[in-house]
Amino acid sequence: MIHTRRLAYSIVLLWAGQVAGLSQSKPLELKWSELAGMVAGHSVELTLAGGGAVAGEALAVREDSILMDVRKTSAGEFQKGSAAIPKGSIGLIKLERGRGGWGRTLGTVLGVISGLTLGGWAAAHTHSAAAGIPTFLGIASGVSLTGYYAGRELDRRTTLIRVVP
């Protein structure tokens, strides 16, 4: 019994350690001319100077605006679809990029191993097969999916960009 508690505690610490390493950094300061190579073709969220935000894919950076395929907006002046966001109305740019698939792979492997272990332990401590099999399948599936999604978050990199004159 003590061994299984220690195993469960170690698994929880492992997952908590992965999430605790994610923190926000200072915004990267770039000139408008340097912006095109960074944001074109990526998912961005623009915080507007007048309040509100616009999120979607940055298609191109022009001399006076960013051309976007807007997916979400909280600013009344921009609608979903193609929009040109003026340079002067952009306060902060949140850029999201993927960084390979190692986090998804690691998270899935750890999730499957942990799910099989915890599910097997829970199923072994039930008194009937009718309750043990669904318990095993539910725990193993749930922990495996949690591992995949936690690993996917590790693969995602967010960069804050502030445009300077």
CA of residue 21 relative to chain centroid, distance: 13
| The domain over range 28-98+157-164 is classified in CATH as 3.40.50.720 | no
Name the DSSP class of 64.
S
Residue 46's pLDDT band, with cuts at 50, 70 and 90, is confident
Q: Which of 1-10, 90-99, 103-112, 142-151 has the lowest mean pLDDT?
A: 1-10
Checking if the pLDDT of 45 tops 70, the result is yes
Q: CB burial class (10 A; 0-12, 13-18, 19+) of residue 120?
A: middle
Averaged pLDDT for residues 89-118: 83
Per the prediction, the chain carries an average pLDDT of 80
Which residue, among 80, 52, 89, has the nearest Cα to 163 in the 3D structure?
Answer: 89
pLDDT band per the 50, 70, 90 thresholds, residue 22: low
Two structure tokens written together for 155: 């693969």
pTM confidence score: 0.58
Query: Is 4 a residue whose pLDDT tops 70?
Result: no
Pairing mode, if any, of strands 65-73 and 53-61?
Answer: antiparallel
